[in-house]
Amino acid sequence: MALAPFHLAIPVTDLVAAEQFYGVLMGCGQGRRSEQWIDWDFFGHQLVTHKVAQMPSEPAPNEVDSKAVPVPHFGVVLEWDDWQRLADRLQSSGQTFVIEPYVRFAGQVGEQATMFLRDPCGNALEFKAFKDPAQLFAQ
């Protein structure tokens, strides 16, 4: 069965900043838009940035592999080489990371490359990759 694209709507306080981040930096194609929202092709999924007056408050992070992981967060699992290209592009652009690109759980079940960053409005994103895709749901 083919993987169905997800739909996710997130708050942003600045659509111009969202356009720069998702459209220019992340390279996402833009779909429909209005003065209050923009649809994005987020790696084959539908992401919608909705303009809000104020961002919601965020709970405390969770500790994972001795790192403070922001909650909530969203992102995608990429192919290993695609993840590396994105990490390189973000690093060369001077992007600030919540958690710098690294390999989590090295040598263990679930070994994965991961990185966390925030969009200009504070939404946390995670991008990850597995050399062995069977590790995605491994226990």
Report the CATH number at residue 40.
3.10.180.10
State how beta strands 67-69 and 112-118 pair: unpaired
Domain assignment present for 72 = yes
pLDDT in tens, 23-63: 999 999 999 999 999 999 999 999 999 999 999 998 999 99
72 and 34 in a common domain: no
Let me know: does 19 contact 30? Beta carbons within 8 Å.
Answer: yes
Structurally, the chain folds into a number of domains equal to 2
pLDDT in tens, 88-120: 999 999 999 999 999 999 999 999 999 999 999
Domain assignment present for 42 = yes
Let me know: does 70 contact 123? Beta carbons within 8 Å.
Answer: no
Domain assignment present for 28 = yes
DSSP string, 32-99: EE-SSEEEEEETTEEEEEEE-SSPPP-PPPEEETTEEE-SS-EEEEE-HHHHHHHHHHHHHTT--EEE
129 and 66 in a common domain: yes
Domain assignment present for 29 = yes
Q: Which structural domain range is residue 80 located in?
A: 62-135
Cα–Cα distance between 6 and 9 in angstroms, integer?
10
Domain assignment present for 125 = yes
Mean per-residue pLDDT, 19-25: 97
43 and 85 in a common domain: no
Let me know: does 33 contact 39? Beta carbons within 8 Å.
Answer: yes
**Tell me, what's the pLDDT at 2?**
79
78 and 23 in a common domain: no
99 and 75 in a common domain: yes
Cα–Cα distance between 23 and 28 in angstroms, integer?
5
